[in-house]
Structure 1
Amino acid sequence: MFEEGNIVYFTPFYFKNGKSAAKPKYCIILKSVNGQTIIASLPTRVDSIPSQIPVKTGCVELPEINLNSFIFDTSTEITECGKYFDFNTFVYGHQLDFYAVDSFKDLYRIEGTDYEIFGKLKTELYQELLNCLKNSKSVKKKFISLL
């Protein structure tokens, strides 16, 4: 589950802050740190990109408004097994977070029930995503140094 580049679909995902209700959610594993922690992104279909910017797969860096996003549009095959996201999907640099592997293992025990592996990002897309985040002014340095 914690292999870098995997897209995991949780049914439901329990948010760390406890303030948001649990709901089905995708999670992209960006980096495994010492096998104990992962850096991950919870992509969203919420489009916060200014309307004059075209929604197409790739990196959007808007330092003047402190916004970094990697977009997966619906026409792009994203996984090695040929899957697409059903909606335009956004990874925002300011939303990266650390997650403890042990906590995930406790919460999500049964593949096929608690979670499923949606697929592994195509190598080129995974590298583009990492480069987008690593070269951003809005991603925290603690993440950049590990990515």
Structure 2
Amino acid sequence: MKVLEVVAAVLTLEDGRVLACRRRSDIAAGGAWEFPGGKVEPGEQPAAALEREILEELGARIRVGTSLGTHDTIVGERIIRLTCYRATAQAELPTHSTDHDQLQWLDPADLESVEWAEPDVPFVRLLSQR
């Protein structure tokens, strides 16, 4: 099986709320919620890939923090290897996205109130327990 390396940002506000993004209906896994991010290009460092992806998708510059871990999920004929990182916005908070039709800042206790994309679920569970 082919492995797709993906990184995502758990963008957190000072009050602890976390950014959740709903995928547009016209793209794969449309309607599912996820932490924003994307593919790591060949030769690219994960943190650099995450900074690039967030700038491209959300128009925001972030500071990448510590990793929350890596989890593999089989989706169709490939493995999505998702690594989530804590992150903070360096300036303006994101208000729109090229890949998402809705953005919400959720309290960790409310993360499970929306339907998440399968690769993100282990990280939602981790964050909900804190």
Same fold (TM over 0.5): no
The structure whose Rg is larger is 1
Per residue, is there more strand in 1 or in 2? 2
Scaled by the length of structure 2, the TM-score of the pair is 0.30
Structure 1 length-normalised TM: 0.27
